[in-house]
Amino acid sequence: MEKPTVGILIAQLGTPAAPTARALKPYLREFLSDPRVIETHRIAWWFVLNFLVLPRRPRVSAALYRRVWTERGSPLLFHTEDQARALGAALGETIKVEFGMRYGSPPASAALERFRQAGVERVLVFPMFPQYSGATTGSVYDAVFAHYGQQRLVPALRFVAPYYKHPAYIDALATIAREDIAHMPWKPEKILISFHGIPKRYVDSGDVYQYHVEETTHALTTALELGPSDYELCYQSRFGKEEWLQPYTSERLVELAHSGVKRIAAICPGFTTDCLETIDEIGHEAKKEFQEAGGEDLRLVPCPNAHPAWIEAMATIAREELSGWI
């Protein structure tokens, strides 16, 4: 077998090792201690995190994770593992594909160390965040630079550019949406397009996330031939008291139900793998809120996961970024 000289790191945000308060506490500490995620006064936040958040939040989060945990464990973990395996098969043995988490386990640093041990000379970092945000993509960059900042021998590095409107990514999203909606027992009256939110302050300070979200939405709705009245763009996963990007998914669903909308198909294009935020927050909690407000049904379109259309898109994007290396 020819020795691989190029490695691809599929970088995900992270997941706890188990759906327990004991496992959630270190995971949440690592995640919420990242200044990219929580941009506030560090000393004040340290007290809030350690004396208000961590004593209580792990138990609440653990209960939510138990609802999505499977025999294979965390959905985000095993879907990412499947993506890495499928991408490796698509690209061939001369390219070594690994995956790693920004927070939790397995850490991205372990994958980068395996590249070193295998003699990989060029590394392409492939964040699983199509839309750039400092809190996600930027934080992955930080982790990679921090790892190599401790190494004597640093390989050549490249990072996949945000692919929020890349034709291959959009085509994969549209293919998956068409397939799933075609198998629904009814035709949706609205398509809900829900992205993870961030504080509005981050965008006001220069984060391009909202622009990328709007570009993705325009490209996807064009591919699906949706008119302005056929879909709703919303933001989910808000916490804390400050203003986040709007409209908020939960509030908009209630408004839609009150307006007489009965059936909704939900797509979450900011997530490349199904996880707590898609399976539970949208597929369970948002559905419940919609029904309690008068709606009849809400169906979640699966994330790309290891769908062949997404693996083909990943391979296309990777080959473009590896130009000159392979």
Band (pLDDT 50/70/90 cuts) for residue 5 is: confident
Cβ atoms of 15 and 48 within 8 Å: the answer is: no
pLDDT value of position 14: 96
Average pLDDT of the residues in 134-146:
97
Cβ atoms of 273 and 80 within 8 Å: the answer is: yes
User: In the predicted model, is pLDDT for residue 109 greater than 90?
Assistant: yes
Cβ atoms of 117 and 151 within 8 Å: the answer is: no
User: In the predicted model, is pLDDT for residue 1 greater than 70?
Assistant: no
pLDDT value of position 2: 62
Q: Which domains does the chain have, with CATH numbers?
A: 6-163+308-321 (3.40.50.1400), 167-300 (3.40.50.1400)
Residues 32-41 pLDDT 10s: 999 999 999 8
User: In the predicted model, is pLDDT for residue 215 greater than 80?
Assistant: yes
Residues 148-193 pLDDT 10s: 999 999 999 999 999 999 999 999 999 999 999 999 999 999 999 9
Distances in Å between the Cα of 189 and the Cα atoms of 5, 260, 263, 292, 298 are 50, 10, 6, 18, 10
Residues 280-324 pLDDT 10s: 999 999 999 999 999 999 999 999 999 999 999 999 999 999 999
How does the average pLDDT of the chain come out, rounded? 96
Beta strand residue intervals within the chain, DSSP E: 6-15, 95-104, 122-127, 156-159, 190-196, 231-236, 263-267, 297-300
303 SS3 class: coil
pLDDT value of position 3: 67
Cβ atoms of 120 and 6 within 8 Å: the answer is: yes
